Amino acid sequence: MRRHVYVRGQAAEDGRRARRRRVWWRAGVSLGALAVLAAGCSGTEPAEPASPAEATDADSQNEAEPSADETASGPPDMDPPEVPDIHRDDDEGAQNAAEYFVELHAYIHAGGDIGAYEELSAPDCESCASVSEEVQRMRDVGEFHDGGDVEVTRSEVFPPDSENPSHLVRVYLTELPGVHRDSDGEVIENFDGGDVVVDVLMRHPGGGGHWIIEGVSANVASSEPEE
């Protein structure tokens, strides 16, 4: 069960630090693989690992992990993530949109429709655009991800303040093992998976609209980002 946390008190300071630490998702890299690269992208060392997010049962991981010795005839048959209420203009609506967006990341890399992902992305969201471009490149050459499902365990909301008009939602998740396959189903790269923290910057346009994603960053599971 997911645990929603509405953060107050330290929210302004933590939110400012998280907004400054922009380790953007890089196209074609799974969440787990990107966590390893985060320090190199940001020019800083990653934060100390915190207590792991809710552990995934080892047997379930073994069942979910595709075998590198096997080939696949095409993208896996995945159901799209369930669409939550992303229109409500409050903390719960922000969490709904952030968690949904993170789940869409795995779905579109496995061959799912990219329309919902792009609809949530702001025009100037560079990380969103790079992911969309890479997914389109994969479609053009027949590549896809097999496995690597995302399990969201909890999330926290850092409300906007006088200096930062955007909401920040920190999503804690576990990415299951998976593989990147070519058009023949052969393995290009293996992903080990692991616990990841994703920071999602977002705003609500009002007027009955839905939340818009302005930027996304990822790192290994940590209690809070470095300055």
**Residue 100, CB-side half-sphere exposure with 13 Å CA sphere:** 25
Distance CA 28, CA 133 (A): 9
Asked if residues 145 and 109 have their Cβ atoms less than 8 Å apart, the reply is: yes
Q: Higher pLDDT residue, 178 or 10?
A: 178
Phi, psi of 204 (to 5 degrees): -115, 125
34 pLDDT above the threshold of 80: no
Classify burial at 215, counting beta carbons within 10 Å of its beta carbon; exposed 0-12, middle 13-18, buried 19 or more. buried
Asked if residues 92 and 4 have their Cβ atoms less than 8 Å apart, the reply is: yes
Distance CA 194, CA 202 (A): 25
Strands 167-175 and 194-203: antiparallel
Instruction: Report the pLDDT value the prediction gives residue 167, as an integer from 0 to 100.
Output: 94
- Residues of 37-53 as b/e, b for ≥16 C-beta within 10 angstroms? ebbebbeeebbeeeeeb
- Residue-wise pLDDT tens digits, 81-120: 999 999 999 999 999 999 999 999 989 999 889 999 999 9
**Residue 8, CB-side half-sphere exposure with 13 Å CA sphere:** 2
142 pLDDT above the threshold of 90: yes
Distance CA 32, CA 192 (A): 7
Q: What is the mean pLDDT of residues 211-226?
A: 75
Q: Which percentage of the chain shows pLDDT scores above 90?
A: 51
Lowest mean pLDDT among 36-40, 99-103, 115-119, 199-203: 36-40
Bridge partners (DSSP) of residue 154 are 3, 172
Q: How many CB atoms lie within 10 A of CB 66?
A: 20
* H or E segment to which residue 137 belongs: helix 126-141
Distance CA 41, CA 24 (A): 8
Q: Which domains does the chain have, with CATH numbers?
A: 3-69+87-220 (3.10.450)
Residue 210, by phi and psi: left (phi above 0), alpha (psi -120 to 50) or beta?
Answer: beta
- Residue-wise pLDDT tens digits, 156-178: 999 998 888 899 999 999 999 99
Q: Is the pTM of this model over 0.85?
A: no
Instruction: Report the pLDDT value the prediction gives residue 72, as an integer from 0 to 100.
Output: 63
- Chain CA centroid to CA 181, Å: 20
Distance CA 134, CA 116 (A): 16
The pair of structure tokens assigned to 159 is 């409300």
Instruction: Report the pLDDT value the prediction gives residue 32, as an integer from 0 to 100.
Output: 39
Q: Higher pLDDT residue, 25 or 128?
A: 128
**Residue 192: band (very low, low, confident or very high) from pLDDT cuts 50, 70, 90:** confident
205 pLDDT above the threshold of 90: yes
Of 115, 178, 195, nearest to 144 by C-alpha is 178
